[in-house]
A and B are shown apart, each in its own frame.
Chain A
Amino acid sequence: MNKYLKYFKIGFLQSTEYKSSIILSFVSPFIIAVFFYFVWGYLYSLSDGLIGGFTFKEMIFYLIFGLLIHTIRSSELAEKICEEVKSGDIAIYLCRPVSFVKSVFAKGFGERIVQIVMVFIALIVITLVANLPIPNIQTLGILVIYLILFIIFDIILYSIIGAFSFWFTEIWGIRRAVEHIQLVLTGRILPLSLFPLWFSSILKFTPFYYMEYSFASIYLGKFTMIQAIFGVGMLLLWIFILLVILLIVYKIGFKKLEALGG
C-alpha cells in the first residue's frame, strides 16, 4: 500500500480510538442551538417573519448546519504541529523517507473521514425530521465537494499556522485569532446576508464567504447552482494560494531546523 494511504488509514484508526469525543462533539452543538432558538424566537416576534431572507425555521436550521460543519473544522492540527516542532519530534521526518507535509495531509484526511460521514448523515436526518425541502442529487453532490474542500482548506491553513512555531514558541494566540475571524466571517453565528452590503461584498473576495454561509444557503435553496459552482471555484483558488504559501513556509522552516536543530 502507498505510504500516504497508510497515513490516511492511521489517521482514520486514530480518530476511532476516541469514540466518545466524536459523539460528544456532535451533541454539544445542539446546546448552543437552544440558545439560538430563544434569541431568534424573540427577534422574529418583533419582525414580519423574514430576516435577511430567512424564515424563522430556516434561520434555526441555517445556524444548526453552521454548528455541525464547525465540528469538522477543528484547529487542533496547528497545535499538534506546534507540539512536534517544539519537542523536536518533527526532526524524525528528516531521517525517514517520508514527506512531513504529505503525511500531515493524508493523516488529517483520515482523521476527519468519520466526521464527514457523520455530518452528512446528521444533515439528512435533520432534513427529514424537520420536514425541510429535500435537496436534489446535484445539490447533495456539490455539498459533499464543499465539505471536502473545507477540510483541505483547514488542513492547509492550520498547517501554516502550526509552522509559525518554527519561529515562535507559542502559536495559540494566532490560532485563536484565526478561529475567531472564521467564526464571524464565515457566517457561522450570523448569516452574511445580514451584514452591511459593503462588508459582505468585500467578503466575496475571501474564502470565508464560500464556507458555512454558502453551504447552508445552498442546502436551504437560497443559492442557484451557478452560485454554488462559482463558490467551488473560489475555494479551489484559495486552496491553491494557501498551498503555495504552505510549501514555502515548510521549506524555510525545515531549512531553519537543519541549521538550529530541534
Chain B
Amino acid sequence: MKKENNKIKNNDSIVEAHNLRKVFRIPKKQKDLSWIKKKLSWFYREWLDKVAVDSVSFKVKKGEILGYLGPNGAGKSTTIKMLTGILHPTEGEIRVLNNLDPIKNRKEYTQNIGVVFGQRSILNYDIPVKDSFDLFQSIYQIPEKRYKERLNFLVKLLKIEPYYEVPYRKLSLGEKMRCELAASFLHKPKIVFLDEPTIGLDSQAKLIVRDFLKDINKKDGVTIVITSHDMDDIEELCERIVLIDKGKVYYDGKLNSFISKYADSKNIRVHFKKILDKEKFKKLTQKKSFQKNHNTITFKVSANKKLGEYLSDIFNIVEVIDVEISEPKLEKIIAKVYRENE
C-alpha cells in the first residue's frame, strides 16, 4: 500500500483512480428447482460475481473537463459512484483533492464536490427551487454575501430566473436540469461529477447546459468529469477522454488523437464545373462509396490512403470548384469501436 501511495502522488492531478475494481454479488437464478426449493432458495442462495469495473486507472488533471465514455453497462456510473464516495471499491485506491480518500474523508471531500445525476434529482420535489437553494446554502455553510453573489451569477448564466420561485415539480425537464446544475455549483466545488446531464433534453437546453459548463470551467477553474451518450456534448466540451468497455480502460488520451486513430475514413465532397475525362469519371462513379448529385460527388477515403494523390487524380477528371474534407462524426467512430469490442 505504501508503495502505491508514493507512486500516485502527483501535484497537477486532482482525482486519481488506481486499479479500481468493483465486483457485485448477485443472486444466481436457478431455473430447474422444484417449487419448494424455490421458496426456500432465499436461505441457501448461490451467488454470482459480476465484475462491473476491472482494474481501471486514470487521472483527472486540475481544471480539465474529462469525458468518461463507454457503452451502456460498461461501468461508467459505477466508477462515478466510487469517485464520489457512494460505493466502496472492491479493490484499488482513489485519491482526490490533496490525497483524500472519498469515503474515509467524506466530510471534507463532499464539502468540495458537486454531483449531478441526469436521471436523479437532488432538489426537493414539492417546494420552490429557491427554498432548495436555501437549504444548500446551509448544508455547505456558504456565507450570506458570497451566497447572494454566487446565486446571482448562476441564475444569470443558466437563465433560470423565471423558474426560480416555482415548485420544482412544475418545471420541464430542461428547466429542472438547469436548476440542478445551479444547485450543484452553488458552493463553488472544486470537482463536479456529471452523470449524463443532458439525457432527455432538447437541443436548446443541451446548448445552454454545454455553454454553462464551458463558462463555469473557465471562470471557476472547476474540474469536471462528465459522462454522456451524446457525442456532441463530448466534442464540444472535452479535450481528453477516457473510454471504458466491459469495465476496462480502452482508451485514455486526447480526443483529437482518438478520432484520428480510430476514424478509418474521411468524407470528401467535391463540387465541380464540368467533367474533363468522361471515361474515367464513369469508372470512378461506379465505385460503391461514390454518390453523385448534379455537380457534386461525395465519397469516403480510408484514412491510410494518401489523400493528396487521390485528390490530384480527381482534379484531372473534373474541373473542381470546391473541395470539402470532413472527419466522420465522433458518434460513428465510437459506435464502431463499441461494435468491434463486442
CB distance from A58 to the nearest CB of B (A): 40
Across the interface, name the chain B residue whose C-beta is closest to A7: B135
Does A91 touch B at the CB level, under 8 Å? yes
Does B41 touch A at the CB level, under 8 Å? no
Does B84 touch A at the CB level, under 8 Å? yes
CB distance from B73 to the nearest CB of A (A): 13
State how many residues of chain A have any CB contact under 8 Å with chain B.
28
Residues of B close to A91: CB separation below 8 A: 81, 86
- Checking B25, B84, B88, B131 against A95 with a beta-carbon cut-off of 8 angstroms, the contacting residue is B84
- Checking B25, B107, B131, B132 against A97 with a beta-carbon cut-off of 8 angstroms, the contacting residue is B107
Q: Is the CB of B126 within 8 A of A14?
A: yes
Distance, CA A243 to CA B150, complexed state (A):
39
Indicate with 1 or 0, residue by residue over A209-252, a CB within 8 angstroms of chain B CB atoms: 00000000000000000000000000000000000000000000
Binds B, one of A119-127, A175-183, A254-262: A254-262
CB distance from A183 to the nearest CB of B (A): 28
CB distance from A67 to the nearest CB of B (A): 26
Residues of A close to B140: CB separation below 8 A: 97
Q: Is the CB of A258 within 8 A of B126?
A: no
Does A98 touch B at the CB level, under 8 Å? yes
Residues of B close to A97: CB separation below 8 A: 106-107, 110-111, 139-140
8 Å CB contacts to A: which residues of B94-111?
A: 103, 106-107, 110-111
Q: Is the CB of A258 within 8 A of B87?
A: yes
Residues of B close to A5: CB separation below 8 A: 138
Residues of A close to B122: CB separation below 8 A: 92
Does B24 touch A at the CB level, under 8 Å? yes
Q: Is the CB of B86 within 8 A of A10?
A: no
Across the interface, name the chain A residue whose C-beta is closest to B90: A259
A2-B86 contact, Cβ under 8 Å, with A10-B127, A88-B120, A97-B107? no
8 Å CB contacts to B: which residues of A63-117?
A: 87-89, 91-92, 94-98
Does A17 touch B at the CB level, under 8 Å? yes
Residues of B close to A257: CB separation below 8 A: 86
- Checking A88, A92, A262 against B115 with a beta-carbon cut-off of 8 angstroms, the contacting residue is A92
Distance, CA A262 to CA B111, complexed state (A):
22
Q: Is the CB of A259 within 8 A of B88?
A: yes
Does A6 touch B at the CB level, under 8 Å? yes
- Checking A14, A17, A18, A98 against B139 with a beta-carbon cut-off of 8 angstroms, the contacting residue is A98
Does A204 touch B at the CB level, under 8 Å? no
Does B78 touch A at the CB level, under 8 Å? yes
Distance, CA A96 to CA B81, complexed state (A):
13
Q: Is the CB of A261 within 8 A of B24?
A: yes
Does A1 touch B at the CB level, under 8 Å? yes
Distance, CA A6 to CA B115, complexed state (A):
21
Across the interface, name the chain A residue whose C-beta is closest to B141: A3
A261-B126 contact, Cβ under 8 Å, with A10-B131, A96-B110, A98-B139? no
Distance, CA A97 to CA B115, complexed state (A):
12
Distance, CA A3 to CA B140, complexed state (A):
8
Q: Is the CB of B127 within 8 A of A261?
A: no
Residues of A close to B113: CB separation below 8 A: 95
Q: Is the CB of B86 within 8 A of A17?
A: no
Q: Is the CB of B86 within 8 A of A95?
A: yes
Residues of B close to A43: CB separation below 8 A: none
Q: Is the CB of A14 within 8 A of B124?
A: yes
- Checking A6, A17, A259, A261 against B138 with a beta-carbon cut-off of 8 angstroms, the contacting residue is A6
Q: Is the CB of A95 within 8 A of B127?
A: no
CB distance from B171 to the nearest CB of A (A): 15
Q: Is the CB of B115 within 8 A of A95?
A: yes
Distance, CA A95 to CA B80, complexed state (A):
11
Does B71 touch A at the CB level, under 8 Å? no
Does B85 touch A at the CB level, under 8 Å? yes
Distance, CA A258 to CA B117, complexed state (A):
17
Q: Is the CB of B139 within 8 A of A258?
A: no
Distance, CA A261 to CA B26, complexed state (A):
12
Across the interface, name the chain B residue whose C-beta is closest to A96: B110
CB distance from B86 to the nearest CB of A (A): 5
Residues of A close to B115: CB separation below 8 A: 92, 95
Does B134 touch A at the CB level, under 8 Å? yes
Does B167 touch A at the CB level, under 8 Å? yes
Q: Is the CB of B126 within 8 A of A95?
A: no
Residues of B close to A174: CB separation below 8 A: none
| Between-chain CB contacts (< 8 Å), 15 pairs | A3-B135, A6-B138, A13-B126, A87-B120, A89-B120, A89-B121, A94-B85, A95-B85, A97-B139, A98-B139, A258-B103, A259-B87, A259-B88, A260-B25, A261-B78
Residues in B lying within 8 Å of A, measured CB to CB? 24-25, 78, 81, 84-88, 103, 106-107, 110-111, 113, 115, 117, 120-122, 124, 126-127, 131-132, 134-135, 138-141, 167
Residues in A lying within 8 Å of B, measured CB to CB? 1-3, 5-7, 9-10, 13-14, 17-18, 87-89, 91-92, 94-98, 257-262
Sample of 4 more A-B contacts, CB < 8 Å, known A2-B138, A13-B126, A261-B81: A17-B126, A91-B81, A257-B86, A260-B25
Closest 9 CB pairs of A and B: A3-B138, A6-B138, A258-B88, A95-B84, A91-B86, A14-B126, A97-B110, A95-B115, A94-B86
